[in-house]
Amino acid sequence: MDVVIANLPLYLEGFSVTLLLLAVGGLGALVLGTLIAAMRISPIATLRVIATVYTEIIRNTPLTLVVIFCAIILPILGSELPYLIAGMIALAVYTSPFIAEALRSGINGVPVGQAEAARSLGLGFGLTVSLIVLPQAFRMTIPPLINVLIALTKNTSVVGGVGFVSELFGVGRTLANANGDAVIAVLIGVAFFYLIVTVPLGLLATKLERKWVVQR
């Protein structure tokens, strides 16, 4: 494990980039996914179709292709976004349909009477969804949303795997190439830092899920 200890600053630097990708990509996915979920239940047919098509296309497209599109194709088309920003956008776009579907399942779990009561008070669709439906849907889908974030944490490695951003996986790949006799130790070091994020998130999801079952 000497190679891991000796290169700990590199690990920490890559880990910080991974956390940045997770935070920004996750926040972007949450905002976009919430919008898509609202469009999926919209009374306007066109919005429902757009949201459905978006969800099916992105959800069934490999993340690698989404990253390559944002990091390579967009610059060819004239984009001047830094690769790190492009990676964040790719992660947000790819993750948003999974968040949207999790939220939609939560929305379906909200009693219909809640929306009917809101409409009887004169609230329109937008206010009903934002003030009545979504808060309850978020509460019911916190564990699945955390699981999506766990998957997003691991998906950040794809951004580094493409080679444009030196996040945790990218650092591990560089160290593995430079220390061929210590590849296993290098990979264990990479896995350790991923576990620092994913294990607490998994435990949190389990705890919240049990709490929700008891309250329900």
At residue 215, what is the residue type?
A: Q
pTM of the full predicted structure? 0.86
Tokens of 11: 């690990």
Q: Each residue's pLDDT tens digit in the chain (216 positions)?
A: 677 777 788 888 888 999 999 999 999 999 999 999 989 888 889 999 999 999 999 999 999 999 989 888 888 888 888 888 988 999 999 999 999 999 988 888 777 777 778 777 777 777 788 778 888 888 888 888 889 999 999 899 888 777 667 788 888 888 877 776 778 888 888 888 899 998 998 888 888 777 765 444
Domain that residue 52 falls in: 2-215
Tally of structural domains, the chain: 1
CATH of the domain at 88: 1.10.3720.10
